[in-house]
Structure 1
Amino acid sequence: MNIFGNTNYDITGKRKIAMLFSSILIITAIVAIFIRGFNFGLDFTGGTVIVVHFDEAVELEDVRTQLSDANYGDAVVKNFGSSRDIEITLPPIEEFTETATESPDSPQTGTDEAKLSNVILDILQEYDASARISKADFVGSQVGDELVEKGSLALLYAIFGILIYVTIRFEWRFSLGAIAALVHDVIIVSGVFAIWQVEFDLTVLAALLAVIGYSLNDTIVVFDRIRENFLSGRKADTETIINTSINQTLARTVVTSLTTMLVLFALYFFGGDLINSFAFALIVGVMVGTYSSIFVASTATMALGVSREDLIPVAKEGGNLDHIP
């Protein structure tokens, strides 16, 4: 049952308004990316993340003050799942100068990162003796730079592969329309992260790749219906056929997006800090992807001049006489 009934919205008729709206969003996103930049997480910048557990709830401001007094004022302190667990992020260190006094029985190892985590623990135990480290991770700055490079290449490879796939399955105008929608989605989602300075880590990069796949799936459904309507022999003009096709798939597009959003909101509110950025990226991506599959992909394809003739193989003149000697 189609809960939307037999819709007949003039979607293609609003394409100029949609293109203006998309242009404003893209320009805003690009300006934000260049001016504000991304709040890269540890995966990309390198550094040390230490998760400390306390027996009782602690005040983050007290912990920040304790670390600042010990010359670690650049540490980022936030709760990690509960008020009794905190996550401390420290920038990369080139040379580590130990600020705590070591005893002969100290468990510290010879590496700077291990020493750093133990020094931080010593500082926090002066504030609360129940403090203990539950996790400590270190990523070198060189590894972070490599991840940025490989992550960018992954996005480019995905878009290039989609370009080839859609060209083979449909027609080159459809492929460019699909790519326009995907680039539109990635830029806007990235811009949202730049504007609100949400932490950008590897999970967000994975979310961007997932957004590309989700948006493409919606776009392919619409393109399939456009092709069917083109080949069905209807004599309507291109704009009418594309508008009809979008309306015929509108219920499926919207219902799929709404059910996906229910899961993503559950992940965002109840999944914890570890997947918070991932869920946020997907929430924004699904909303933008749904919009682009309705207004951007098909509109871009129509602007490139696609027509029924482009999808019908050209009949070879006299081809039905080839069997005659």
Structure 2
Amino acid sequence: MGFAFFKHDTKFDFIGKRRFFYALAVLLCLVGLGNILFGSGLKMGIDFAGGVIMQVEFQKPVADEALKSAMSATGLPGISTQRYGNDGRDYLLRCSLPENVAAAELRTAAEGALLKTFPDNPAQFHRLEVVGPKVGSDLANKALAALYYAILLIAVYISGRFEQRWMAGAIMAAALWGGMYLLGLTGLSMGWLVLFALAITVVICFVLKLNFALGAVVGLMHDVFITIGLLSLLGVEVDLNVVAALLTLVGYSLNDTIIVYDRLRENLRAAPSLSLDALINLSVNQTLSRTVLTSGTTFLATLALFLFGGGVIHDFALTMLIGVIVGTASSIYVSSAILLALGDTEFYVGQQQRQVYEKPGEHGIV
């Protein structure tokens, strides 16, 4: 008898509350999108916007305001300071990249300003990174492409695993790969290309009746869009650490969705006479303990990183904290409930008709 937070026979009506969570998800997406388009916008970190970052360690703690004043005197554009660690000695200094200025000159200017302001508190430079605008743009494009292709390949995998339609999934992937190439010839930015491609992916899944794949894709888009929107509201800079957290979130959320889908597939065989909404509710309730245990331990581990990991990993941990909550909710209320919104899937009807049984001792996922 394994450890469980909830009994396996709980009967929470998750599907009955799906419309409330649909409304909440739409509201969060609109608020985040509104802030990105008409508010403070999405702050791009040095990895994507270009610029300079310096990691400095002082011998003794320094005050934030004194450090900001010292760096402002350098004349470096867009200078900002960020403390990390708990002893007040470690800082990250960021600024935009001035034209025709070498990295050595930037360091010399910063060292001179710090030495003048803190003559009895020498600073040691541990890191100096310079990212040009072109490099930043390339990194941004590759990050967007990575997110899109991750979601696309997941759609193909779900189509094959749960609907046994590998060929349809492969055709969809090939068409979208070619479509991305053709759209790229129009000169559109990678951001618009990814949005168009995601929309086409959803339409193709709907037309081909790849309902399990469509549920997974919509759930992942829900997770990424809401997380990015909340990050924009919180003023978090989007850099490679945040992109890494988003990709981790995609894999985490998908894993939770697959657990529910696996149980739903088993229940389709065991109780084909039940309605689809009852089967989805049953499957979510049966996997609820595992979902809460996995999400809870992940949340606590990420919370420890957020509280004690320091400034360098702060944004990664914050993104993961938001993503764990959003991803868990999408597995319960979005990915599974989409199947009900689409009606009885071909997979569901086929299971009722042919009553697939497993032989004793051969239980497993096929």
Q: Using structure 1 for the length normalisation, give the TM-score.
A: 0.88
Pairing 1:168-247 to 2, within 5 Å after superposition: 168-171=160-163, 172-247=210-285
Report SS of the residue matched to 1:40: coil
Report SS of the residue matched to 1:274: helix
Pairing 1:50-69 to 2, within 5 Å after superposition: 50-69=54-73
Maintained 8 Å contact 2:242/2:315: yes
Q: 2:64 aligned with 1:26, yes or no?
A: no
In 2, Cα distance between equivalents of 1:189 and 1:11: 22
In 2, Cα distance between equivalents of 1:13 and 1:53: 55
Instruction: Give how far 1:224 is off.
Output: 0.8
The C-alpha deviation readout for 1:28-70, integer Å capped at 9, x for no partner, is: 1222222332222111111111122222211121122223234
Report SS of the residue matched to 1:306: coil
Structure 2 gap segments, 5+ residues each: 164-209, 356-366
Who is 2:318 aligned against?
A: 280
Who is 2:186 aligned against?
A: none
In 2, Cα distance between equivalents of 1:179 and 1:87: 37
Maintained 8 Å contact 2:155/2:214: yes
Which moved further from structure 2: 67-76 or 150-159? 67-76
Who is 1:87 aligned against?
A: 92
Q: Return the letter of the residue paired with 2:219.
A: A
Instruction: Give how far 1:306 is off.
Output: 2.9
Pairing 1:116-195 to 2, within 5 Å after superposition: 116-129=106-119, 130-171=122-163, 172-195=210-233
Q: Return the letter of the residue paired with 2:213.
A: S
In 2, Cα distance between equivalents of 1:281 and 1:4: 28
Report SS of the residue matched to 2:93: strand
Report SS of the residue matched to 2:10: coil
Who is 2:202 aligned against?
A: none
Who is 1:319 aligned against?
A: none
Size of the aligned set, in residue pairs, is 300
In 1, Cα distance between equivalents of 2:244 and 2:144: 11
In 2, Cα distance between equivalents of 1:274 and 1:312: 53
Q: 2:312 aligned with 1:309, yes or no?
A: no
The C-alpha deviation readout for 1:108-147, integer Å capped at 9, x for no partner, is: xxxx111111121011111123223222111111110001
In 1, Cα distance between equivalents of 2:351 and 2:105: 66
Instruction: Give how far 1:303 is off.
Output: 0.8
Q: Return the letter of the residue paired with 1:114.
A: A
In 2, Cα distance between equivalents of 1:279 and 1:49: 20
RMSD: 1.7
Instruction: Give how far 1:208 is off.
Output: 0.4
Who is 1:2 aligned against?
A: 4
Q: Return the letter of the residue paired with 2:115.
A: Q
Maintained 8 Å contact 1:219/1:297: yes
Maintained 8 Å contact 2:76/2:96: no
Which moved further from structure 2: 67-76 or 149-158? 67-76
Report SS of the residue matched to 1:56: coil
Maintained 8 Å contact 2:272/2:351: no
The C-alpha deviation readout for 1:8-29, integer Å capped at 9, x for no partner, is: 0111111221211111112112
Q: Tell me which stretches of 4 or more aligned residues in structure 1 moved more than 3 Å.
A: 310-315
Who is 1:38 aligned against?
A: 42
In 1, Cα distance between equivalents of 2:351 and 2:29: 31
Q: 2:255 aligned with 1:255, yes or no?
A: no
Report SS of the residue matched to 1:170: helix
Maintained 8 Å contact 1:33/1:190: no
In 1, Cα distance between equivalents of 2:238 and 2:72: 25
Structure label with greater radius of gyration: 1
- The share of aligned pairs that are identical, in percent, is 37
Maintained 8 Å contact 1:264/1:279: yes
In 2, Cα distance between equivalents of 1:10 and 1:131: 59
In 2, Cα distance between equivalents of 1:73 and 1:146: 23
Structure 1 gap segments, 5+ residues each: 97-111, 316-325
Who is 2:103 aligned against?
A: 113
